Amino acid sequence: MLPIDHTLLARLDLNLLVAFDALMRERHVTRAARRIGLGQPTMSHHLARLRELLGDELFTRAPTGIVPTPHALALAEPVRTALECLQGVLTRRPFDPATQERHFRVSLSDGLESSLMPPFLALAAQEAPGVTLSLSPLQEGTGPAMLDDGSLDLLVGPPQEQAPHHKVRLFCSAGYLVLFDPQVVHVDTPLSLEDFLSIPHVRVSRRADSSDAVDDALAKLRLRRRVAVHTAHSLSVPHLLLGSRLLGLLPRRAALATARAFGLSHSPPPLELPQDSIAMRWHASRDSDPGHRWLLEAMFRAATLSVEPSGFTRLAARTPPPPRRSSRQKVAMGFTGEPVPPSTARGATLKRKS
- Which pLDDT score is estimated for 346? 39
Phi, psi (degrees; rounded to nearest 5) at 135:
-105, 135
Is the dihedral angle over the CA atoms 11, 13, 14, 19 positive or is it negative?
negative
- Which pLDDT score is estimated for 338? 33
Taking residue 210's Cβ as centre, other Cβ atoms within 10 Å add up to: 10
- Which pLDDT score is estimated for 320? 38
- Which pLDDT score is estimated for 310? 36
- Which pLDDT score is estimated for 88? 66
C-alpha Rg value of the chain to the nearest Å: 26
Give whole-number Cα distances, 285 to 88, 198, 199, 202, 277, in Å. 8, 52, 50, 41, 25
Listed as ranges, residues in the chain with pLDDT below 70 are 1-2, 8, 88-89, 91-93, 207-211, 306-354
- Which pLDDT score is estimated for 321? 42
Q: What stretch of H or E contains 270?
A: none
- Which pLDDT score is estimated for 253? 82
